[in-house]
Structure 1
């Protein structure tokens, strides 16, 4: 990471990170909206349940992005699962004749998010973050070893 300072790292990788994060948020909100307006159309309590599901999923989504930033590869897998879950919950709502714009955006956000996760820049960012995690672990081990010698 000597060749890439923090401002340069952020300038290079932050736009792709934040776009992937917002696409995940939009995908989750679009899928919750479509599911509540199609499958639970007659339920008077659907707004309360939609809010609770949105709250829980957004917390899990933020946690998985935080874990990815910390250099753990399973955070990316969790984000991919979010995108796929959103995509596969939106697909069957077509039978309920949702609004075309809502349906297309419900399909578009997860697909764009998966495309962005597979982009070269996002993969570079994840590999740099894993490298930073490994360097951090090595420095922690070196600090513990120097303390134990005293």
Structure 2
């Protein structure tokens, strides 16, 4: 009888501890990709007739990579961060290329800080601990 209640309590404790960190990393990546790509494509291909198509295709490709990487992370694959980390790194490099293009200071600060915040979250002790526990959970599932 006691074993039945222990697993849900462990699950709730896990979710309470790690879910906000997981969501912060995911949404900072999504926001940084959306802002950076929209600004970069609008800045460099402003008068191009396919501007909206380029924005949607590039945003969709990076968002799909980000979603697949986070899904693999949830499933406990160790290589998942290799799929996730290029997204904020690419967003940061694109944001750095926008320096000096005449964007408003606050917008430029936001598109520079969001990828840095995402990288900071992924490098935090809590996020690394969450990934280790998810990998350990996957290994325990495969041993059964």
TM-score, length of structure 2 as denominator length: 0.89
Looking at structure 2, the residues matched to 109 and 42 of structure 1 have their Cα atoms a distance apart, in angstroms, of 27
Question: Unmatched 5+ residue regions in structure 1?
Answer: 140-150
Quote how far apart the aligned CAs of 1:44 are. 2.2
Match of 1:112 among 101, 112, 117: 117
Q: Does 1:15 align with 2:55?
A: no
Q: Does residue 122 of the first structure (1) align with residue 127 of the second (2)?
A: yes
- Which region of structure 1 is more displaced relative to structure 2, 8-17 or 90-99? 90-99
Q: Where does structure 2 lack aligned partners over 5 or more consecutive residues?
A: 1-6
Shift of 1:78: 1.9
Match of 2:4 in 1: none
Return the alpha-carbon distance in structure 2 between the equivalents of residues 42 and 96 of structure 1. 16
Normalised to the residue count of structure 1, the TM-score between the two structures is 0.86
Q: Which residue of 1 aligns with 2:3?
A: none
Matches within 5 A, 1:1-150: 5-139=10-144
Quick check: which has more Rg, 1 or 2?
A: 1
Give the deviation of 1:42 after TM superposition. 2.0
1:27-72 deviation line (CA, Å, top 9, x unaligned):
1101111211211122122012201221222122111100011111
SS, match of residue 96 in structure 1: coil
Q: Is the 8 A contact 2:65 2:84 kept in 1?
A: no
Q: Matches of 2:106 and 2:51 in 1, distance apart?
A: 21
Cα RMSD (Å): 1.6
Alignment: residue pair count: 138
